Amino acid sequence: MNERILLGITASAAAFKGVALASLLRKEGYEVDGILSMNALRFVSDTQLACVTGRPVFSSLFTDQPGDPVPHISLTDGCSLLIVAPATADYIAKTANGIADDLLTSVFLANEAPVVMAPSMNSRMWANPATDGNVSKLRNRGITFAGPASGHLACGSMGEGRMMDPVEILSICLRILSGKY
């Protein structure tokens, strides 16, 4: 059986780049289970992500007719890597503080595989001491941060906070998966 990766996408202007990363991971031969935060559904669709992964896409912790009543646990069982790209300031803050109030934050708490986060946000949000402290907390717990890069931001300004290029994130993920990072 192929290795399975969890790819979370949160509600950033760079959400479409998360879909591109899913495509790259699948081309490398990985099974990719896509998870969209509820707010990410305002930026990309579950159908779009499912077309790229070829698998069901998840976003709800609770469903009306649960085929699986505990998706946050079953998704994390046996996965090789959890990637969250893009990762919003909100997601970073919640996970740094143990908050698990939706599927993707609950997956983070239940997960035992290595984690890569690719932050994406306005440069002032990235520089905010609250975000900085949250990133430090997660780094100290072994979370790998891919980026952010500097450059043009969705708000029209330049600065640090741009999501790293999906090809570069892929390269970091492949090194982690092969134990060479």
Q: Which is nearer to ligand FMN, 32 or 40 (CB)?
A: 40
Which contiguous run of DSSP H or E holds residue 158? strand 158-162
Reference 61, options 26, 30, 99, 107; nearest CA is 107
Can you tell me the distance from the alpha carbon of 149 to that of 151, in angstroms, rounded to the nearest whole number?
7
Can you tell me the distance from the alpha carbon of 93 to that of 109, in angstroms, rounded to the nearest whole number?
13
Candidates 39, 45, 123, 171; binder of ligand FMN (CB under 6 A) is 39
Can you tell me the distance from the alpha carbon of 30 to that of 138, in angstroms, rounded to the nearest whole number?
26
Taking the complex as a whole, how short is the minimal distance between the CB of residue 99 and ligand FMN, in angstroms?
Answer: 11
Candidates 4, 13, 137, 165; binder of ligand FMN (CB under 6 A) is 13
Q: Which is nearer to ligand FMN, 115 or 177 (CB)?
A: 115
Taking the complex as a whole, how short is the minimal distance between the CB of residue 24 and ligand FMN, in angstroms?
Answer: 20
Taking the complex as a whole, how short is the minimal distance between the CB of residue 168 and ligand FMN, in angstroms?
Answer: 18
Reference 143, options 82, 78, 69; nearest CA is 82
Candidates 5, 19, 21, 40; binder of ligand FMN (CB under 6 A) is 40
Q: Total residues contacting ligand FMN (rule CB under 6 A)?
A: 16
Candidates 5, 11, 22, 173; binder of ligand FMN (CB under 6 A) is 11
- 51 tagged catalytic: no
CA dihedral (79, 15, 23, 47) positive or negative: positive
Q: Cα-flanking dihedrals φ and ψ of residue 102, to 5°?
A: -155, -175
**Cis-peptide, bond into residue 114, ω within 30° of zero:** no
Instruction: Please answer whether residues 133 and 144 qualify as being in contact, where contact means their C-beta atoms are separated by less than 8 angstroms.
Output: no
Question: Please, which of residues 85-104 interact with ligand FMN by CB under 6 A?
Answer: 88-91
Residue 12 in the binding site for ligand FMN (CB under 6 A): yes
Taking the complex as a whole, how short is the minimal distance between the CB of residue 78 and ligand FMN, in angstroms?
Answer: 25
Which residue ranges make up the site for ligand FMN (CB under 6 A)?
10-14, 37, 39-40, 88-91, 120-121, 125, 154
List, by residue number, the catalytic residues.
155
